[in-house]
Structure 1
Amino acid sequence: MQRIGLVGSGFMATTHATSYQQIADAEVVAVASFGDDRSSFAKAHAPHADLYDDAKTMMDEADVTAVDICTPTPTHRPLVVAAAERGLDAFCEKPLSRTAEGTDAIVDAVNDAGITFMTGHVVRYFPEYVEARRRINAGEIGSLGTVRTERFSAPPRYASNSWFSDKEQSGGVLLDMAIHDFDYLRWLVGEVDHVFARTAEWDDGHLNQHSSVVLRFADGTVGHVEASWGYPEGTPFTTSYEFAGDEGMLEFDSRDESAVRVSGGAEGTNAPTSPLVKSPYTTELEHFIECAETGHDPDITPDDARQAVRIALAAIESSERGEPVSPTEVGA
């Protein structure tokens, strides 16, 4: 049984607390948050948890075996390092850090400590994305030539101090949201040689951004990632993809009721997903708990999380410089 110390009391902490209620081998026994809502949060989502207003105090005093960090990006480094120094397994929401240097420090800390560590790149657990990778790896659309993803929403407004709107804290849409697709596409295709990005930006009291990124992969595959925090408030969050090979194509659009569409080759079909499928956040955390229990390495390694940050930072730098940037240049 893993005894979880949950750090945070916002949107993602709520999502994770709800997921832990579905996992037999885990229980949230402590909650640390500097927010005024920690008592109401714990009452609703972890009624038996001890409450703390300082995460490091919780790590020292509470009977926890692992910590789950669901706090703003700038806090990730000190919290993960603190967990590693105490020998506590740790799960941390993405992105690992706002900077390459901070990301490297986290990876070094968890590797040196030998703890079980995993980052929340949850798109790898969404059934439509799992299905696409399965079909591509099975050769159903032949050799990949181009991959395209979209991820659109209004600017995030649920943070208590609007930290998302501060690019120095959040990194904007490329580091906070497009990083999901950067991680997934690297998992699907392989290493990224360089990226070229353009970003439109405007301010209406919140940070609005719309970014388009071209990725050139080491094997020659070309990727297109479009990400937006520029839609009107109340617009549903949407995602889509198109993966084209020399024998067919896979398509998905969250606005379409038909799940994954397969075309070309010997078939032209829809591949529905079960309405009974569990939350990808639950699946993700189940995997983390299983690894903490068994000592196995998580599917998402510390270096995977680091490379996703580097791709995102390269896209930010490319957008600012107006020229292609290699992820290997970031922080060099």
Structure 2
Amino acid sequence: MKFALFLASRLGKAVFVVLGVVVVNFFLIRLAPGDPAAVLAGQAGAGDPAYLAQLRESFGLDKPLLTQLYLYLKDVVQLDLGFSYRNHVPVLDLILERLPATLLLMSSAFVFSIIAGVLLGVFAAKARYNNRRQWLDSTVMTGALILYATPLFWLSLMGILLFSVVLGWLPAFGMETVGSSLTGLARARDIATHLVLPTITLGCFFMAFYVRLTRASMLEVIGMDFVKTARAKGVPPEKVVRVHVLRNALLPVITFAGIQLGQMAGGAVLTETVFAWPGIGRLMLDALLQRDYQLLLGIFLVTSVMVVVFNLITDIIYRYVDPRIAAGAQAQGA
């Protein structure tokens, strides 16, 4: 019952957040300079005022702004995100076609970044705690700082030059080999090969956060009384690190991971553009250049929902990882 109330509260807040994002995005898009009807008429080679008026009417641009907002919210509730005049398909169909590629890239980069970041952070913290190996800590932290300071697009281009052009180990562009007609495991291996470079490029940037955060949290927890007590009882050092130190040190990492998942959607725009990855990040860039307002609004809505869902999952995981959160909620309810 307590968990059901917690989940209902979070879902209610999530709905209001998504609604607020939809309204703000709608007004921001409408405040952008330029007329999408004029752009479409120019692409069709027609500048007739009657044709422009017909286009504005067909897209609802001739109505007052608040009326447009009401009609848009009404359609969103019915899962109708509009029609992409540039691609000549419904916006929802176009997004659902590209969404699996983005989710695959984001999930792969997230898993890579958090696993590598936590492992390197633990390694750096243990090296720092052991005064004889502080140079290893300095090496790991310097590498993490370099990755954090390196622009994502430059890292992507250097990865293509090194591993694709010079060494020829990995494909540079696309999600799978064009015209290969592969199926089953062969197609999965082909996609996995194309996924390596974008995953490492996007994951390395965020991995730097987890390295520094894990190291700082580990060093803070190592000096606490319960860790000293465990050592005094004769608990093996590796078990102390794994059971007592790491579990408590991961709490801020889990919190930050939920935020980073949302930021990964933004980083995927650059990564998908450089590697020609057919996801919604690249689709959003194309929609922006083409002034496809309906498609832009649809992508903003879907990415907002993704961020809210990621944060909701983080709250649920955090509640189970740290029992003090649930205990505090029960105490407040009492």
Q: Which bracket does the TM-score occupy, shorter chain normalised? A: under 0.3
Larger strand share, 1 or 2? 1
TM superposition score normalised by structure 2? 0.26
Larger RCO: 1 or 2 (CA < 8 Å, sep 6+): 2
Greater helix share, structure number: 2
TM-score calculated relative to the size of structure 1: 0.26
**Greater C-alpha radius of gyration:** 2
